[in-house]
Amino acid sequence: MTTQAKKASTKSAPAQKSRFSFFTEVVAELRKAHWPTRQEAVRLSIVVLIVCAIVGAILGVLDLAFTKLFLLISG
């Protein structure tokens, strides 16, 4: 008998779980999670929107600059 066959035969099969135990475990884990307060959620959402606006403005300026540069070179 090979070593792989010995290892396979020594492992026990996992216990059969009910199909719905996954969902009960998910609910249990979600109850353990730290949920932000309403004030934290609003504040962090505002930060995300500000960062998105800044990054969008930077990308817009870079796009405009590269467009002008390309037109100048090809023109």
Domain residue spans in the chain? 38-75
* The token pair that represents 61 in the structure block: 């300026």
Q: What is the pLDDT of residues 35-53, one digit of tens each?
A: 999 999 999 999 999 999 9
Q: What is the mean pLDDT of the chain?
A: 87
Residue 4 is predicted with a pLDDT of: 60
More confident residue, 23 or 1: 23
Is pTM beyond 0.85 here?
no
Which H/E stretch holds residue 7? helix 3-10
More confident residue, 49 or 17: 49
